[in-house]
Amino acid sequence: MGYSHHYRITTTSSEWRNSWPNFVKDVKLIIEASSVGITDPRGFDENGGNYRNDNDPDRITIPIPPPIVDQTRGIGINGIGDGAHEPLLIDCQGHLPRASVTTGRKPYDEVVTCVLVRAFMVAPHSCSITSDGDWDDWVDGRTLYTQIWGEMPLCPWGGVFPTPPQKVSPACRCCIM
């Protein structure tokens, strides 16, 4: 699928540099608060086998590495195994050229969109974010954002004030309207 999010972050700006340490902590909060499995940028091992945490003998099983969320190394996340697609990579220094991440609407899109919204909310003048999807397609990431910070995020492309996401039971994510 070609469902992608595009972002440009001026990591040399004072706004971004001042926000970076807390942003890294915020990304850790997002990953911890989400029920979606997240790993390092590869999402797959070097041999082409998917990371697995089940007991299927026909599948390669290796330990699932943690995502990269570090003030020095930057941010590098992906879904796990079949839930992986392209990684979200955010550098901590230098000028990050226009980048994109194609999630294919896989479950880790919730974490990706929440991270991108958080980047925009903490450093709006340093971040330019767009998506192939609509703001409504970001409802899972927006809901996660609201659960963590108790406020509605702004739409990064256009400054639109969204309607509040519906509160849902953690066990039932199908009720989001």
- How far apart (Å, rounded) are the C-alpha atoms in residues 101 and 109? 9
Query: What is the per-residue pLDDT for 64?
Result: 79
In a domain, 15, yes or no: yes
Number of domains comprising the chain: 1
Query: What is the per-residue pLDDT for 174?
Result: 37
Query: What is the per-residue pLDDT for 164?
Result: 38
In a domain, 159, yes or no: no
Predicted TM-score (pTM) of the model is: 0.81
Q: Which regions of the chain are under pLDDT 50?
A: 46-47, 53, 160-177
In a domain, 100, yes or no: yes
Are 80 and 107 contacting, i.e. CB atoms less than 8 angstroms apart?
A: no
Query: What is the per-residue pLDDT for 1?
Result: 53
Query: What is the per-residue pLDDT for 112?
Result: 98
**Angle separating helix axes 139-149 and 14-33, nearest 10 degrees:** 100
DSSP 62-80: -PPPPPEEETTTEEEEB--
In a domain, 170, yes or no: no
In a domain, 155, yes or no: no
Residue 78 belongs to domain spanning: 4-149
Query: What integer best gives the mean pLDDT of the chain?
Result: 82
